[in-house]
């Protein structure tokens, strides 16, 4: 191997090491950035768990309709059945609505589970206010127990016209092992 080839290889190795270090640093920096973003979207009492919004009287905008879709998933480690009673609904901004969800422990043991919400598109989350939600606290299920759980929400009428559909998604996680009893 001649001197020129060795020099090129050394430069390539240096570049690759710098890229790998940069990628690691960027990944490391994403954690606090994600925490800051979640802090803006959800006023938190504890990490990742949103708190209830205060119920405010809005003037209902009868001239607009927004479709709210409901999606449910269960983390693969949570042996549960979980669904919303309806898949979607049309609402007027400023109108309070209550939608029920159903969750069931499919095991023969007690379980503590937590639902984590997300709203899409992300910027619409600022206008989507939940005043009551099972996601605010951990839920305890007895063996084979099922529960109907309400979510009461409103979409602030100040939401920009571009938002015609909002998706409220929940993922249930089994927290039995990590829950404080």
Tell whether 157 and 125 lie within a shared domain.
Answer: yes
Is the residue at 95 inside a domain? yes
Is the residue at 7 inside a domain? yes
Q: What distance in Å separates the CA atoms of residue 100 and residue 29, rounded to the nearest whole number?
A: 38
Task: Mean pLDDT check: name the lowest of 93-97, 104-108, 112-116, 177-181.
Answer: 177-181
Q: What angle do CA 149, 89, 133 make, to 5 degrees?
A: 25
pLDDT at 113: 93
Q: Using one digit for the tens of pLDDT, what is the confidence trace for 112-171?
A: 999 999 999 999 999 999 999 999 999 999 999 999 999 999 999 999 999 999 999 999
State the chain's maximal CA–CA distance in angstroms. 79
pTM: 0.69
Is the residue at 103 inside a domain? yes
Tell whether 91 and 129 lie within a shared domain.
Answer: yes
pLDDT at 31: 65
DSSP secondary structure letter of residue 107: S
CATH number at residue 88: 2.60.370.10
pLDDT at 50: 67
Is the residue at 2 inside a domain? yes
Is the residue at 181 inside a domain? no
Please state, rounded to an integer, the average pLDDT across all residues of the chain.
86
Is the residue at 8 inside a domain? yes
Tell whether 93 and 141 lie within a shared domain.
Answer: yes
Tell whether 14 and 83 lie within a shared domain.
Answer: no
For residue 79, what are the domain limits? Answer: 48-174
Tell whether 105 and 126 lie within a shared domain.
Answer: yes
Tell whether 96 and 150 lie within a shared domain.
Answer: yes
Tell whether 18 and 1 lie within a shared domain.
Answer: yes
Which phi and psi (to 5°) does residue 97 adopt? -135, 145
25's tokens: 């640093």
Tell whether 107 and 144 lie within a shared domain.
Answer: yes
Structural domains counted in the chain? 2
Tell whether 22 and 92 lie within a shared domain.
Answer: no
């Amino acid at each position: 191997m001649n001197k020129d080839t060795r020099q090129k290889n050394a430069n390539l190795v240096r570049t690759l090491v710098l890229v790998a270090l940069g990628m690691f640093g960027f990944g490391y920096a994403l954690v606090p950035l994600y925490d800051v973003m979640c802090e803006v979207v959800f006023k938190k009492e504890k990490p990742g768990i949103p708190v209830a919004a205060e119920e405010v009287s809005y003037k209902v905008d009868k001239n607009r309709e927004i479709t709210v879709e409901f999606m449910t998933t269960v983390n693969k480690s949570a042996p549960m059945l979980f669904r919303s009673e309806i898949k979607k609904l049309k609402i007027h901004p400023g109108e309070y609505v209550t939608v029920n969800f159903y969750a069931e422990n499919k095991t023969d043991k007690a379980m503590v589970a937590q639902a984590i919400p997300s709203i899409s598109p992300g910027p619409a989350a600022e206008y989507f206010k939940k005043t009551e939600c099972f996601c605010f606290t951990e839920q305890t299920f007895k063996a084979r127990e099922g529960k109907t759980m309400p979510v009461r929400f409103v979409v602030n009428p100040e939401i920009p016209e571009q938002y015609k559909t909002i998706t409220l998604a929940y993922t249930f996680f089994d927290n039995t092992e990590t829950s404080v009893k």
